[in-house]
Chain A
């Protein structure tokens, strides 16, 4: 943050709107209590000036309103959608919460709204609807002319990757499925009738290698063969059939050999979102990249899961390990919310928790790796956690003991996750190399970047929430 910004901020504080509060809904659900500036909003929630993003390097975190195009559907969204959700309050409306009857009082209400919202005039066909929906239009299919010309560069503006994403989004599930089949062909689990004996002999060779220890692991314990031949095939049915994950913007993750730090929201009581992101990156990325995740020590301490996590490419969430992998050119995944995110109540769904202490930003700055903000929608609904038995959690040494609608009431049946429909969107990478490695010691910059990543993910979450027809369909 430059000094000019700070002065500017002070100037606005003493500005004409003195005494007035901003009132825009915040991620905590309460109206923003910052002092409002001349535009009627505080500096955080102020609409984009439209000329220059506040930070020079990288694109602005804020998405432009998806409803700028004067179509029917966007307007419907504009009427129903809460303002915080769309990135920023509608330009020029200057409405306070309550000024518009449809504005929700809290973001929880906002989320509930998203669950229901179906823009009017939308065709019944899900695929066509997807393609025509404004959020989709922005995310993947909108030609550049649709975007407001004076808008800042946005994470969602069509980029060179758009054509690929375009095709995928339009073709829908059929094409996705064929892509999967192509992947499966190389796996020994291929179900193709003609090649079963080949598959069986591959399976035998695999078994022989495992039995004689004839395989290589990397220094952190990543066992590529085990991941590709056991873990991914096991997770794929969940990815494909149970949660029907749609991965958007996978091409924004750099090609093989280039480092990136994927930062995502964490939810769902059990960290299935981490596994699904891993599958998404491997199966949908052109280079079949492996996501190396940073895990909590509790996970690595747990019997069985601990060493399996290592073999599937995870390691301890420690600066040294993250740096080592980034310098090698790996894609590293981090869930900065940690247990605060994965163990939050259902009523807090899609509200990002505190983003750690910004350690991931420091690592990215030191290594110059771009940060890819990633929003996962759907993971919150797999185990709606309505309660937390603190006593049991303390007894078991876990950070929380979840009570859901089905667990522990139904016993092991309660462990079956609900089949919500997921969207994993990889956002526009935020470049960190421009700051230089010494910027990692600049605490203000680290805070600022952390907030920016967090905001970006929150906006992506809201946008994708708005886009979904229902939680399960």
Chain B
């Protein structure tokens, strides 16, 4: 559907990704009309985006869709942490009920042609029984534990319901890995910025990160040239959590898993870190999505790998290393100087890396 004169609605326009997406779409001449929906102002200056201050659950939505003859809905209003909206109950209201209402309105909008849903790889949960690279057709985590996973599973279910009612509407579900970047504030970024990071003792999950540049690029593409289907979106490669923390120069302290909940509570109270209980298994087992479909079906090759995204996060200056990599290198050089017969040391250390 690469037609001209697109009329696009973006929900959750106050988010960083949504704001960046709107900026990119504004510059595109194929976009005739752009509407942003949220209860708050977007953080960036938008020129020709019409802002509608409303909650997703407001009946106004149906009228907005109709009055603006929207053909594409980009649903980015995903609340991933309870503290942002003041509690888990309200988070669920926002995510599940909001999506339900939006999609109900979308079902009746005659002009609608495609829906882009922002989801996350949290739909798979974090289990030792998940494959190392989770494909999109893997079963979602249906354990009724509540939390983000539960919300996202429900949201996707409503989206698929719409797809059944309206076969003429294309549905793209984008399951993002943890999105990081210089301008993104996320739980993971805050966790990585703790002076001493509590980790699950005896566990070391693999992390998959999605750089904000890739995230925005995939959103732009899915909005303008929608490819129906479900896609994991993330950077190639993984880092272990321990490795990530070492790269960022963070000392760690192992917390036995039975004590994880009290420690998470402590982090919520003292460090402004909303480590939701339902996401604690993530720190044990992690999850990594398989990117084959992103590459072959959506035709997008991620530009920033997971280690590069992590380095970018480190370079953004928000995380001051507690253990400095240069200091480690200096210590190494100092110790090496103590060794006799030093002339071959340089080549030796280069050879085995």
Which residue of the partner chain A has the closest CB to B345?
Answer: A201
**Docked complex Cα distance between A293 and B49 (Å):** 53
Residues 218-254 (chain A) with a chain B CB within 8 angstroms: 218-221, 223, 225, 229
**Docked complex Cα distance between A306 and B336 (Å):** 34
Interface footprint category on B: 35 or more
Contact A213 B349 (CB under 8 A): no
CB distance from B240 to the nearest CB of A (A): 6
Residues of A within 8 A of B130 (CB): 316
> A208 at interface (Cβ–Cβ under 8 A)?
yes
Q: How many residue pairs bridge A and B at CB < 8 Å?
A: 128
Residues of A within 8 A of B342 (CB): 197, 201
Contact B352 A221 (CB under 8 A): no
Knowing A197-B342, A205-B352, A221-B240, say if A297 contacts B328 (CB, 8 Å): no
> B239 at interface (Cβ–Cβ under 8 A)?
yes
Contact A217 B243 (CB under 8 A): yes
Contact B132 A316 (CB under 8 A): yes
Residues 174-213 (chain A) with a chain B CB within 8 angstroms: 186, 188, 197-198, 200-202, 204-213
> B245 at interface (Cβ–Cβ under 8 A)?
yes
Contact B332 A300 (CB under 8 A): no
Knowing A220-B132, A297-B128, A324-B133, say if A212 contacts B290 (CB, 8 Å): no
Q: Which of B133, B247, B345 makes the CB contact (< 8 A) with A212?
A: B247
Contact B206 A186 (CB under 8 A): no
Contact B128 A207 (CB under 8 A): no
Residues of B within 8 A of A297 (CB): 128-129
**Docked complex Cα distance between A320 and B257 (Å):** 29
> A56 at interface (Cβ–Cβ under 8 A)?
no
> B171 at interface (Cβ–Cβ under 8 A)?
no
Q: Which of B138, B203, B242, B352 makes the CB contact (< 8 A) with A202?
A: B352
Q: Which of B132, B307, B329, B344 makes the CB contact (< 8 A) with A221?
A: B132
> A215 at interface (Cβ–Cβ under 8 A)?
yes
> B325 at interface (Cβ–Cβ under 8 A)?
yes
> B335 at interface (Cβ–Cβ under 8 A)?
yes
> B353 at interface (Cβ–Cβ under 8 A)?
yes
Contact with B along A392-407 (1 / 0, CB 8 A): 0000000000000000
Contact A301 B290 (CB under 8 A): no
> B43 at interface (Cβ–Cβ under 8 A)?
no
Q: Which of B131, B236, B246, B329 makes the CB contact (< 8 A) with A320?
A: B131
> B323 at interface (Cβ–Cβ under 8 A)?
yes
Q: Which of A186, A198, A209 makes the CB contact (< 8 A) with B353?
A: A209
**Docked complex Cα distance between A198 and B348 (Å):** 7
> A463 at interface (Cβ–Cβ under 8 A)?
no
Which residue of the partner chain B has the closest CB to A302?
Answer: B202
Residues of B within 8 A of A209 (CB): 353
**Docked complex Cα distance between A462 and B344 (Å):** 51
**Docked complex Cα distance between A297 and B245 (Å):** 26
Contact with A along B145-169 (1 / 0, CB 8 A): 0000000000000000000000000
Knowing A211-B246, A220-B133, say if A316 contacts B349 (CB, 8 Å): no
Contact B290 A320 (CB under 8 A): yes
Q: Which of A88-96, A307-315, A413-421 makes up part of the contact surface?
A: A307-315
Residues of A within 8 A of B87 (CB): none
Residues of B within 8 A of A307 (CB): 202-205, 240
Residues of B within 8 A of A206 (CB): 352
Residues 37-52 (chain B) with a chain A CB within 8 angstroms: none
Residues of B within 8 A of A213 (CB): 239, 242-248
> A4 at interface (Cβ–Cβ under 8 A)?
no
> B341 at interface (Cβ–Cβ under 8 A)?
yes
Binding site for B on A (CB under 8 A): 186, 188, 197-198, 200-202, 204-221, 223, 225, 229, 297, 300-301, 303-304, 306-307, 310-311, 315-316, 318, 320-321, 324
Listed A/B pairs (15) with beta-carbon separation below 8 Å: A198-B341, A198-B348, A201-B336, A201-B349, A204-B349, A205-B348, A205-B353, A208-B329, A211-B328, A212-B325, A213-B239, A213-B244, A304-B202, A318-B131, A321-B132
